[in-house]
Structure 1
């Protein structure tokens, strides 16, 4: 409901719709006892999920899984359909931010590598979904994390 409203308001006021990104909500454990893997952003060190731009020649879920590998060293089974979306402002070097909409895919972790492309640039840690929800800056992402804890995803 709010996604359509935001897009219509953006168009009404001459702003472009948000840029699309893909993200992986990396989980382990069984329902009711799940944990989610969070990583730190490179710039601010905030807790986030692995995310990035869609990739030519890959579906959105496949691109989310690739981002999970590059940013968190995760391999596993990614769901083909998104579990939700959230919005944030991607900070730019010039001092402004670009509005982004992240399409989130659930990834069940099979393997966690010790060496991966962004090993030296990020920290990673497992959290209970409610704890992770308290750490993120994006309310819509927090809501997705809370749904995971309540077995709605």
Structure 2
């Protein structure tokens, strides 16, 4: 009984150091920042998500045995029918969350590649599943509801000229 009285269960400060052990690493997604010249500033392409209709960049999981920049091209084509020249070097990344069909959300790191717009096809794999919108960069940044994507767009404005 003497042992039980001497242990202080209120002192759990040692647990704080273990918190990092239970955080899963972010999953990687690849996004396409499709852009074209606009009247006063570059226009960028946003697509809606299939489930909630939120505005995002075309993005997806990395394609097996393909460089990341090719995945960006594939996503732009599949989600919006956009074809263009993809820069093989990423312009940056941002943190996001991916909603899964079972309702769970997982943390993701989204690596972004620029695609200089050449054309938009009338038929593409996800036609009718998403809305597509070409908007001036400043409008697009305000339309997205993810703060990390909004900051990313503002931060990389000068690289789209």
**TM-score w.r.t. length of structure 2:** 0.82
The answer as to whether partners of 2:41 and 2:137 remain within 8 angstroms in 1 is: no
Aligned with 1:55 (options 59, 63, 78):
63
Of the candidates 121, 124, 135, which is equivalent to residue 132 of structure 2? Answer: 124
How many residues are treated as equivalent by the alignment?
143
> For structure 2, which runs of at least 5 residues remain unmatched after alignment?
1-16
Tell whether the 8 Å contact from 1:39 to 1:49 is kept in structure 2 after alignment.
Answer: yes
Larger Rg: 2
Deviant stretches of 4+, over 3 Å? none
- TM-score, normalised to structure 1, is 0.86
Tell me the distance in 1 between the aligned counterparts of 2:55 and 2:36. Answer: 18
What residue ranges of structure 1 are gaps of 5+ in the alignment?
Answer: 1-8
In the TM superposition, residue 13 of structure 1 has moved relative to its aligned partner by 4.3
